[in-house]
Amino acid sequence: MNMSEQDLHAYVDGQLDPVRNAEIEAHLGANPQALARVDAYRKQNQTLHALFDPTLEEPLPAALQRRQSRSNPQWQRVAAMVGTLALGLVLGYGLRGVTAPVVGPMALSKQAAFAHVAFVPEVLHPVEVSAQQEAHLVNWLSKRLGGDVRAPHLSSAGFELMGGRLLPSDAGPAAQFMYQDNRGQRLTLYVKREPARDAETAFRFAKEKGVSVFYWIDRDFGYALSGDLPKGDLLKVAETVYRQLNP
């Protein structure tokens, strides 16, 4: 049976339909190594929830709503935790062949949601490179990720590019593009390298502690669009992103 790491993560997160879920369970019953990975992912989820649930459950800081000209120290600490966690995942992933895996790669939707929560509330420094330097931003991120990275234009959906930043992930460098509408609502598009075995997937939806995420794999990259929009509205934006990346 064709089974990817994304399938295992979706199984652990309870995101599969009943038919696919039964197929995965049958596969796990006959494959102790795959079952061990699933157990590791579940333990990882428990650890992540213990670390980040208190922060993710906090309301958005008032500074974001008032657009005050200062940053919120609490959310700067969240950003630091995200970076530290991702760096640990990178190191753990690099040592995967040395010892039995304790944790597996963090699911794409979770990485995107943590990055979204960390940087969306920022007032002074929401992005590392602004949209005024879009050509430089795209070239820089493409070089760091080792492929053709593009920043979709979402003005047709009411969102304008603010800029982007480089982030660590379990698979090496990742990119985050941030968008904002005229009400101050923000979306982020998270991009990272994905293993060749996960060449393509359909849109998948996840709810990570209040953050809605549509994510998919397209050739060499994984994409995740995160925001606080209703599911149907976020899907429309995700479809716009996909069409621009696949003209």
Neighbours of 141 (CB within 10 A): 24
Is the pLDDT confidence value at 135 over 90?
A: yes
Confidence of residue 7 (pLDDT cuts 50, 70, 90): confident
What is each CA distance from 235 to 109, 119, 139, 213, in whole angstroms? 14, 22, 27, 9
In the predicted model, what is the mean pLDDT of residues 15-38?
Answer: 87
pLDDT at 42: 78
The residue ranges of every structural domain in the chain are 60-99+110-245
In the predicted model, what is the mean pLDDT of residues 181-193?
Answer: 95
pLDDT at 68: 41
List pLDDT tens digits, range 46-100: 655 654 555 555 555 554 455 444 444 544 455 455 554 544 444 343 333 333 3
Contact 129, 164 (CB under 8 A): yes
Q: Which CATH number fits domain 60-99+110-245: 3.20.20.100, 2.70.98.40, 3.40.50.920, 3.30.200.100?
A: 3.30.200.100
Q: At what angle do helices 32-56 and 18-30 cross, to 10 degrees?
A: 130
- Walk across the sheet containing 221-227 and list its strands: 129-130, 160-169, 172-180, 186-193, 221-227, 211-218, 204-208
Contact 186, 224 (CB under 8 A): no
Task: Note if the pTM is more than 0.85.
Answer: no
Is the pLDDT confidence value at 175 over 90?
A: yes
In one-letter notation, the amino acid at residue 10 is A
Backbone angles phi, psi at 165, to 5 degrees: -155, 165
pLDDT at 103: 34
